[in-house]
Amino acid sequence: MSLAESMSHPAKRGLPRLPLKLWLGAAIVVILLAVAALAPLIAPYPFDEMSLLSRLKPPSAAHWFGTDDYGRDVLSRALYGARLSLIIGFGATLISAMERAFLSLLASAPP
């Protein structure tokens, strides 16, 4: 085997192969990000539109996830809710990372 052949394959260069679970998790996050970003285009109804005539309907062709107590489409509310969940999750992670960085700076400072 020549040097060029051994350098062309990542496993032979000594780079670690990423596990399948990591790829699966990354794919789920990317799909969730895409759904949250495209919620206004994907959602079949406005998330806050109420229709008391269609309240508590089971899943159907018109409402894939059904409707709630006020006749709001559950699928639309779930798609818009993904946006809020991602904002809260990433925001909490960012705040915690900044807090840890600040505390580690305080801990490493000379007295």
Claim: this prediction has a pTM higher than 0.85: no
How much is the pLDDT for 57?
96
pLDDT of residue 43: 95
- pLDDT value of residue 5: 58
* Residue 17 near residue 9, CB atoms below 8 Å: no
Task: Quote the pLDDT of residue 110.
Answer: 86
Spatial CA neighbour of 73 closest among 88, 59, 63: 63
Q: Are 57 and 69 in contact (CB under 8 A)?
A: no
Q: pLDDT at position 16, please? A: 78
Asked if 79 and 58 count as a contact pair (C-beta separation under 8 A), the reply is: no
pLDDT in tens, the chain (111 residues): 555 555 555 556 666 788 999 999 999 999 999 999 999 999 999 999 999 999 999 999 999 999 999 999 999 999 999 999 999 999 999 999 999 999 999 999 887
pLDDT of residue 34: 96
CA nearest neighbour of 55 among 70, 77, 45, 44: 70
